[in-house]
């Protein structure tokens, strides 16, 4: 069976979040370590860490979404300290993957310089990190932001010492908002072929199966319920079930809706799986 799961918002404790995910029947989990609406990390007692580590064993994969304070493509103020804190916590809590937005080339003359600094940061991380998978996610933004253009990732891999140790997450809403029109099956196929050419589809370990609330090329990161946005159900089904991406886990990052509605949509998307 395909691994299809949900992004959960952290409200109280991570152990309660994991209980909620288990009750929802989500075999994989994604979350931040910052509670919803807060501006500081959740605090963990030794007892809470041990509890989370035990509960994490109930899931096939746990994805920590790194905070937006992390900007490994920046020359200065690149969020290196929060990244290291989140990485260490992720390992202590049983996460298997950490998803990172590549960041913006702040303090750089060009985006190419940002790609260089991102590669340098990843090389440093991979020198010592062997227990958790580093996952880069495409973004909705342009200008000096790295990762909106899939070609950025192709350029990045040429600068990484161990490219086979870098994984990727494709967010359908981000791609559409950046300017990749995914509203027809043919256009989805063209996008997947580009991904395969630039980074190798086998490196894609996760799909953020999100619909887009804004028009193509808007560069506005606003998700819609799968099948209820500008990409549409048919194209999202093709994206999810494309033969070159059928190995990747699927995560839904839905807008704020009721638990009941989220459960119904989750079950519907599980029914889209043709693996």
At the fourth CATH level, the homologous superfamily of domain 4-270 is Divalent-metal-dependent TIM barrel enzymes (3.20.20.150)
Radius of gyration of the chain (CA): 18
pLDDT recorded at residue 76: 85
State the pLDDT at residue 37.
85
Nearest one of 170, 194, 191, 193 to 182, comparing CA atoms: 191
Q: Looking at the DSSP assignment, which residues form a beta bridge with residue 167?
A: 135
- pLDDT by position in tens, the chain (length 275): 799 999 999 999 999 999 999 999 999 999 999 998 888 999 999 999 999 999 999 999 999 999 999 999 999 878 899 999 999 999 999 999 999 999 999 999 999 999 999 999 999 999 999 999 999 999 999 999 999 999 999 999 999 999 999 999 999 999 999 999 999 999 999 999 999 999 999 999 999 999 999 999 999 999 999 999 999 999 999 999 999 999 999 999 999 999 999 999 999 999 999 97
* Dihedral in degrees, nearest 10, Cα atoms 165, 147, 72, 206: -40
Q: Which residues of 251-267 are buried (b: 16+ CB within 10 A; e: fewer)?
A: bbbbeeeeeeebeebbe
Question: Facing residues of 204 across strands?
Answer: 168
Q: Model pTM? A: 0.97
- Yes or no: say if 104 and 146 are a contact pair by the CB < 8 Å rule: yes
d(CA 175, CA 44): 35
Give CA–CA dist 230/173, Å, rounded.
Answer: 9
Which two three-digit tokens encode residue 3? 């691994």
Encoded tokens for 84: 């290291």
Helix (H) or strand (E) holding 159: none
DSSP assignment of 123-134 equals HHHHHH--SSEE
* Residue 57 φ/ψ, nearest 5 degrees: -70, -10
Name the token pair of 55.
């509960």
Q: Where are the domains of the chain?
A: 4-270
Q: Under DSSP, is residue 63 helix (H, G, I), strand (E, B) or coil? A: strand
Q: What's the CA gap between 251 and 247, in Å, rounded?
A: 13
């Amino acid at each position: 069976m395909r691994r299809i799961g949900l992004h959960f918002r952290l409200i109280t404790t991570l152990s309660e979040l994991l209980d909620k995910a288990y009750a929802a029947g989500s075999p994989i989990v994604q979350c931040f370590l910052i509670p919803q609406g807060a501006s500081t990390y959740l605090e963990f007692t030794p007892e809470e860490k041990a509890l989370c580590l035990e509960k994490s064993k109930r899931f096939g994969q746990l994805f920590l979404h790194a905070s937006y304070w992390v900007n490994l493509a920046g020359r200065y103020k690149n969020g290196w300290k929060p990244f290291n804190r989140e990485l260490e916590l992720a390992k202590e809590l049983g996460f298997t993957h950490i998803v990172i937005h590549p960041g913006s080339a702040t303090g750089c003359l060009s985006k190419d310089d940002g790609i260089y600094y991102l590669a340098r940061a990843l090389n440093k991380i991979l020198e010592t990190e062997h227990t958790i998978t580093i996952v880069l996610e495409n973004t909705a933004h342009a200008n000096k932001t790295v990762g909106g253009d899939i070609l950025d990732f192709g350029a990045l891999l040429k600068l990484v010492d161990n490219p086979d140790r870098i994984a990727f997450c494709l967010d359908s809403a981000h791609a559409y908002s950046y300017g990749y029109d995914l509203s027809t099956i043919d256009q989805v196929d063209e996008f997947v072929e580009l991904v395969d050419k630039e980074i190798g589809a086998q490196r894609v370990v996760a799909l953020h199966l999100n619909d887009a609330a804004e028009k193509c090329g808007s560069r506005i990161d606003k998700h819609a319920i799968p099948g209820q946005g500008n990409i549409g159900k048919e194209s999202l089904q093709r994206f999810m079930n494309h033969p070159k991406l059928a190995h990747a886990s699927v995560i839904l990052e839905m807008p704020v809706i009721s638990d009941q509605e989220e459960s119904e949509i989750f079950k519907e998307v599980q029914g889209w799986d043709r693996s």
